[in-house]
Amino acid sequence: MKTGIDAIAFDIAKIHLPIKTLANARNIEPEKLEKGLGLIKMTLPDTYQDAVVFGANALTKLIQENAIDLSEIARIYVGTESGIDSSKPIASFLLSLMEEKFGADLLAECDAVDFTFACIGGVDALQNCLDFIRLNPEKKAIVVTTDIAKYDLNSTGEYTQGAGALAMLVTSNPKIIAFENNWATSSKGVFDFFKPYRTLSKSEITRNSANEPWHENLENEIEIHKEQPVFDGQYSNQCYMDRTRNAYFSFKKLKNTDEALYNSWESIIMHLPYAFQGRRMLSEIYALDAKVLSGNESASEYQNKLKEISKSEDYKSFVSQKLLPAELASSLIGNLYTGSIFMGLLSTLAHFHDSEKEISGKTFGFLAYGSGSKSKVFEGTIQPEWKTQISKVRLFETLQESQEIDFETYEKLHKKEQKQSIRIPKNEWILERIEKEIPCLIGARYYKWIG
């Protein structure tokens, strides 16, 4: 019996800032970002959008486009690092919104939970649902990845921002891709990228040394939440390389092969915080598995050889064949955190669909990564009905409809100074209001479908 992804849908922020506009405003040479990192646009949430909105829109599309009977769904598992509550998961919001739109109590027996491990949380949710379907082949599950990648203004991560969600139906005998039950993992607890709880003493804010109540805060410290992470770019890249390399060679052992594993993969799908991250990170694995590098060289020899290999025509050809299709959407979207690897899959499938390339029976390799840090390597086989399913999605056509904004509007949105929405919402969920008055509901978020 096969298990995998039967259908897929997405929702991406519908406004964007051209990378060239950001580069000029920050006195960065545009070519450094466009040709060096593969960045063209970064998508941004409008005033009425958050991670629940994106997840709900992607899930609604999945249900409508595939005529899904919600009473058959046993699980809705969410991968995210953009949670809006420290207790109530995004998955529970999605349950209530789907019942509001499609019928009361349709999901009353559906399990729901969020998975959080930086950018790999969606892969964790997928693996869990695949295991569930293998044990319960008559059941169906849905995985939703939804995130808003936001970085501080003027930071080195600013130009990698993005926002959106994907929703995937997981079943037995899937129509798009079936996954093998071999998963290799490499984990290590590190601080390469994280979103810590931050505090300020109350006196720093109130200018009052006495610990008097302040907006119902009785503690002497005020806890501050920031969507923007603390990160070390170079260290994070090294962690990405180390975890992915270790997981890759562990996967080779599971497959019991001495041949270069990537040669058996038609395409390679990686986590892409920016479009060209995969090609930059994979060169080491490429060289080691081809035995061009032994690992016994001195540090300087190793790095010199690695640079030489990454610039070689053979490696450029390898990138063009196996990595480029996954990069296409990333260039137009930016970082989707948990959704980036699945957008890479969708980008690849949409590219092959549009170019009329037949890939049924071909194997795709997946190299997932999440800071903190963990990598998982696995593979899947494209199924005969993949074209029919992907034709519904209209990925690149939809991305071309994105509305461009100027730099001033971008900064207002980032600082949350923009009060009016940029676009008029239509046929989508919106964040309607956040409760500020009723004591037992302070902070509750309410959403509305706009037809």
pLDDT digits (tens, 9 = 90+) for 100-127: 999 999 999 999 999 999 999 999 999 9
Give residue 289's pLDDT: 96
Predicted confidence (pLDDT) per residue in 270-291, tens digit: 999 999 999 999 999 999 999 9
- pLDDT for residue 153: 98
Of the candidate ranges 17-31, 172-186, 209-223, 369-383, the one whose mean pLDDT is the lowest: 209-223
Question: pTM of this prediction?
Answer: 0.97
Q: Which tens digit of pLDDT belongs to each residue from 319-330?
A: 999 999 999 999
How far apart (Å, rounded) are the C-alpha atoms in residues 80 and 51? 8
Question: Is 241 strand, coil or helix?
Answer: helix
Local confidence band at 371 (pLDDT 50, 70, 90 cut-offs): very high
The residue-averaged pLDDT of 357-376 equals: 98
Fold entry, domain 3-192+232-450: Peroxisomal Thiolase; Chain A, domain 1 (3.40.47)
- Give DSSP secondary structure letters for 366-402: EEEEETTTEEEEEEEEE-TTHHHHHTTT-HHHHHTTP
Query: 440: which residues sit within 8 A by CB, 6+ positions away?
Result: none
pLDDT, the chain, mean: 96
The pLDDT of residue 205: 85
Task: Tell me if 56 sits within 8 A of 97, measured CB to CB.
Answer: yes
| pLDDT score of 393 | 97
Q: pLDDT, tens digit, for every residue of 160-193?
A: 999 999 999 999 999 999 999 999 999 999 999 9
pLDDT band for position 231 (cuts 50, 70, 90)? very high
pLDDT of residue 202: 86
pLDDT score recorded for residue 295: 84
Segment 411-446, tens digit of pLDDT:
999 999 999 999 999 999 999 999 999 999 999 999
Instruction: Give the tens place of pLDDT for each residue, 69-78.
Output: 999 999 999 9
Q: Average of pLDDT values for 93-100?
A: 98
Q: How confident is the model at residue 216 (pLDDT cuts 50, 70, 90)?
A: confident
Query: Of 16-25, 129-138, 223-232, 383-392, which range is least confident?
Result: 223-232
Q: Is the pLDDT of residue 224 over 90?
A: no
Measured between alpha carbons, how far apart are the two ends of the chain, in Å? 40
**Quick count: other Cβ atoms within 10 Å of Cβ 16?**
25
When pLDDT is averaged across residues 396-411 and rounded to a whole number, the result is 98
Domain spans in the chain, listed from the N-terminal domain onward: 3-192+232-450, 194-224
pLDDT tens profile 243-262: 999 999 999 999 999 999 99
* Cβ density class 131-151: b for 16+ within 10 Å, e for less: ebbeeeeebbbbbbbbbbbbb
pLDDT at 48: 98
Q: What is the Cα–Cα distance from 401 to 376, expressed in whole angstroms?
A: 34
Calculate what percentage of the chain has a pLDDT beyond 90: 92
pLDDT tens, residue by residue, 295-335: 889 999 999 999 999 999 999 999 999 999 999 999 999 99
Kindly indicate the confidence band of residue 212, based on its pLDDT and cuts at 50, 70 and 90.
Answer: confident
The pLDDT, as a whole number, for residue 218 is: 86
